[in-house]
Amino acid sequence: MKKIAVIAGTPVDTGMGVDYLNRKDPGTQTVSLPLENDPRACHIFQMQTEEKNTPR
């Protein structure tokens, strides 16, 4: 079984990626890893300088 992590901006984005992969190959085990909880927070994260964007 393949294991794939889907990393994207928001839970909706990662959810769409997980849905796509599961439809393409139902045997794939997927993990959803959003960067932020909502689009506004994701936008702020993207606009910050690189020094401020450290992993949580």
pLDDT tens sequence across 22-41: 999 999 999 999 989 998 98
35 within domain boundaries:
yes
pLDDT classification of 43: cutoffs 50, 70, 90: confident
- Reported pTM: 0.73
25 within domain boundaries:
yes
56 within domain boundaries:
no
54 within domain boundaries:
no
Query: In whole angstroms, what is the distance from residue 43 CA to residue 25 CA?
Result: 31
28 within domain boundaries:
yes
pLDDT classification of 15: cutoffs 50, 70, 90: very high
9 within domain boundaries:
yes
**Mean pLDDT, all residues of the chain:** 88
- The half-sphere exposure of 33 on its side-chain side, counting CA atoms within 13 A, is 8
Domain that holds residue 13: 3-47
In the chain, the number of structural domains is 1
